[in-house]
Structure 1
């Protein structure tokens, strides 16, 4: 198996959305080549679904699927014999490689990297299914904004209330085991204040009660730019909507989106956070690769779990003394 063959496989999985000719990056031929910018000088990035770095002729024996490429991913790949990393999110030079150039870091370990992101969005109904509805409308550019994803769906037969949605989500995510892992880590480290990205942001009802009926769901992703005005517009387009579901990111209880939902007499529930997208998008992608790649190509999943620990309880006594020594002798301007 060669890197160039993985390009073809990803293009097949996405239905022809991958960049197979780099000259297409500088044209309007591929609508999934998108610039993302907050107008912060020098910080924009162009999504280029497909091969970002690597020799097309290089052999591949082990592939890792990840959400966001980081230096941690690169080091783990280098240490475990991974030849290629398929990342969901867009990749930017230095930003995704520990502050050094992708060429130097990835070239050191002979790792090829691919990205998909918008080219993968909208291909499957996974996130709606996980949260208990079947989308009958999917718009990945709602309001003309690339990446502003909106689903409208009907609740599945076994999901009749907001409580049913939460129960289904916790079961899908095996949240009981995640909480057990977090509990053991707290016990082993002797620190009850540790929190992690898998359990700190769980499903939560903002408007409504666990027994509030659910039928038609407006599924939104607040971090993509979905506004209160978009919510009102969607409700006007689909008057039958009774519930707003926010996933991947969420809003504060006093946000304009929640206020608008309350004004429109809608339920409002928050589901999975971005920290769990590896299950929603990464796992199906990995199984799709498994289907197309030869059996002798190993596939692994890189999951990042972030923890939060109080400063005074982070690390060993020796490393804490080291940090204090460095701070007192080099980082305090006297």
Structure 2
């Protein structure tokens, strides 16, 4: 019989002891992976707490889901498919990750326990650099003294000689052809030609350089962590052998200061996989580790698929009529009495 406390132990084992084990770990102020995340927006900060967020340590666990971000959709999917616990990579916040209601109300309804494992999971495996075609020889998760500011410095694998090789490698591992086929079929079935899907419109591309541009030493950065032009200058100073900047998870677009800084420093610049693919990059290693450490538990993976569709192609005719009717009668025409 596997219990929540066994999941805690498994997470602690695979992280090398980074999981919270007591209330003091949270309140004592000295646990390196209990981290406040804040943009100084009043009331919106959150504390990362690696480990069990909600649930009885003695609760039996037969089926466990690994996901990137806990949402009301994943809670509903768990309830409908007999999942006992969800391990989310990203930090969990009251209401924000539970459909706008208190976590306790929603999770208790379906008998769910939830865990999180974010910064405490970073840097434990070289999978993301591997998928992008380089072997890491320096790994930082706090570059420039900024918590969560990840920097990998790596050397390209022997068969990855150019920027084009990096993109081809991602195409193979991520199977973008399959994603294109799924989206194209959806367009036909739903008669919604405008439909686009996140992983396809955020595919890797070259910002500075050509497909034939040679690659050897790579600075692998993650712009959403706060990696700045000054950080890039510092990284190049410490690694003058670098010839390429690779941005993944998040990306930058034309005109961003990081691109201009890379150009100033004579570096190529390429963007790789987006955050939408982290469920494969980090989620699969985490899920396989839990599957190995908890042999009696069925492990499944929850993957989000987000699409964009023109308003007037969204839904069948019944739902189009419904949306337009509700808007015109109760939202646009304020003179109409709203039925509560």
Per the normalisation by structure 2, the TM-score is 0.97
Q: Deviations over 1:232-287 (max 9, x none)?
A: 11001000000000000001111100000001110000000000000000000000
Q: Does 1:58 align with 2:59?
A: yes
2:309 alignment partner in structure 1: 309
1:232 alignment partner in structure 2: 233
1:327 alignment partner in structure 2: 327
1:130 alignment partner in structure 2: 131
Distance (Å, rounded) in 2 between the aligned partners of 1:79 and 1:71: 12
Q: Does 1:298 align with 2:298?
A: yes
Secondary structure in 2 matching 1:117: coil
Q: Does 1:169 align with 2:167?
A: no
Mapping of 1:246-325 within 5 angstroms?
Answer: 246-294=247-295, 296-325=296-325
Q: How far does residue 320 in structure 1 lie from its aligned partner after superposition?
A: 1.2
1:150 alignment partner in structure 2: 151
Distance (Å, rounded) in 1 between the aligned partners of 2:192 and 2:331: 28
**Unaligned 5+ residue runs, structure 1?**
none
Distance (Å, rounded) in 2 between the aligned partners of 1:186 and 1:84: 34
Distance (Å, rounded) in 2 between the aligned partners of 1:153 and 1:75: 41
Distance (Å, rounded) in 2 between the aligned partners of 1:315 and 1:179: 21
Distance (Å, rounded) in 2 between the aligned partners of 1:28 and 1:157: 45
Q: Deviations over 1:284-320 (max 9, x none)?
A: 00000011102x3111000001000000010111111
Secondary structure in 2 matching 1:64: strand
Alignment root-mean-square deviation, CA? 0.7
Distance (Å, rounded) in 2 between the aligned partners of 1:326 and 1:304: 28
**Unaligned 5+ residue runs, structure 2?**
336-340
2:188 alignment partner in structure 1: 187
Mapping of 1:40-79 within 5 angstroms?
Answer: 40-79=41-80
Instruction: Tell me the number of residue pairs that the alignment of Structure 1 and Structure 2 aligns.
Output: 333
Q: How far does residue 37 in structure 1 lie from its aligned partner after superposition?
A: 0.2
Distance (Å, rounded) in 1 between the aligned partners of 2:71 and 2:192: 27
Per the normalisation by structure 1, the TM-score is 0.99
Distance (Å, rounded) in 1 between the aligned partners of 2:233 and 2:317: 55
Q: How far does residue 28 in structure 1 lie from its aligned partner after superposition?
A: 2.8
Q: How far does residue 22 in structure 1 lie from its aligned partner after superposition?
A: 2.1
Distance (Å, rounded) in 2 between the aligned partners of 1:17 and 1:244: 30
Contact 2:194 2:313 (8 Å CA) reproduced: no
Q: Deviations over 1:108-161 (max 9, x none)?
A: 111000000000001010100000001111110111111111110000111000
Secondary structure in 2 matching 1:127: helix
Q: How far does residue 197 in structure 1 lie from its aligned partner after superposition?
A: 1.1
